Structure 1
Amino acid sequence: MNKEDQVISGFRQLYNKLVWLNKDKMEESLKGFTSSEVHCIEYIDKNPDSNVTQLAESFYMTRGAISKLTKKLIEKGLIESYQKSDNKKEIYFRLTEQGKEVNQIHNDLHKEFQERDQVVFEQVTEEQFDSILSFVDRYSRHLDEEIKKLGIDKKSE
């Protein structure tokens, strides 16, 4: 296996291990909510005035899929839609109090997992972090260009 394959395989293995380690606690603490719902709530919390287009682009989903997801979240009382007085055409989302509670549980779990794994990150030098982050950014930009080459316009879906 060459180094490129090792890197990709390593990313997959890390991701799969994280999911496996965190899964039971996440499912227990966030019972009744899907991963997509929780991550949509997290996005809305971190990005004020979120709309369907922004959510679709962020999650690499169609606007139709996001519309279904946000409708479920509204029905569950986790988010609410609103319009700005200067733009009656666009619909935005914000968290309800219940949505904020779910998001706080999610944040607390991430903090717990981060503390569990801190022992590894304490050993990483600034230079190593910079190198890793530079690679991840470069690879992400490459993948963005490949997506563009396919002619996929996330806004039109």
Structure 2
Amino acid sequence: MLQGQKLMRDLRVVFNKLAWLNKQEMEEQLKGYSPSEVHCLEAIKDVNNPNVRKLSQRLFMTRGAVSKLTKKLLHKQLIERYRDPNNKKEIYYTLTEAGERVEAIHSQLHEKYQARDLKVFEEMSEAELEAIFRFIERYNAHLDTEIKKEGVET
């Protein structure tokens, strides 16, 4: 097996273990909300002036999928639409109080999991972390190039 194949396989195993380890508590705490809905709430919170185009780029989803998702979130009263007074054409989204509560639960769970796993990172040398960051940066750049070939903005 090539080193790159082994690395990618091992990364998938790590992420699958993380998903399995976190799944039950996530599902209990965020009952009634799909992972896509929760991640869309997170993106709305994090993105400046979130609209369908920006959310589709952030979530790596089609605009149609994001439109369906935002309609569900509007129906669940987790987000609201608004328009910029200077740009009446574009529709933007913001979290409601209910949406903020759901997003806060999600963020707290991630903080809990990061604290649980902190020991691993504390034991790593600066050189090890820098090598990992270089790999991630290089691989992300490669993936951005491949995504642009598909005609999608990142």
Structure 1 runs (4+) deviating above 3 angstroms are: none
Shift of 1:77: 0.7
Written as runs of structure 1 = structure 2, the 5 A alignment for 1:10-29 is 10-29=10-29
What percentage of residue pairs aligned between the two structures are identical?
A: 49
* Deviations 1:66-95, CA, capped at 9 Å, x for gaps: 000001001101111100000001111110
Does the 8 Å CA contact 1:53/1:63 hold for their aligned counterparts? yes
TM-score, normalised with respect to structure 2: 0.95
Secondary structure of the residue aligned to 1:50 is coil
Determine the C-alpha separation between the residues in 1 that align with 2:129 and 2:89. 43
RMSD: 1.3
> Which amino acid counterpart does residue 152 of structure 2 have in structure 1?
D
Distance 2:80 2:33 in 1: 17
- Counting matched residue pairs gives 154
Which has the higher relative contact order, 1 or 2, with Cα contacts under 8 A spaced 6 or more apart?
1
| Contact 1:62 1:154 survives alignment (8 Å) | no
Structure 2 residue runs without a partner (length 5+): none
Partner of 2:132: helix, strand, or coil? helix
- Contact 1:52–1:63 (CA<8 Å) still a contact in 2? yes
Determine the C-alpha separation between the residues in 2 that align with 1:91 and 1:105.
Answer: 26
Query: CA shift at 1:48, angstroms?
Result: 3.0
Q: TM-score, normalised by structure 1?
A: 0.94
Q: Which amino acid aligns with 2:102?
A: V
Tell me the residue number matched to 1:131: 131
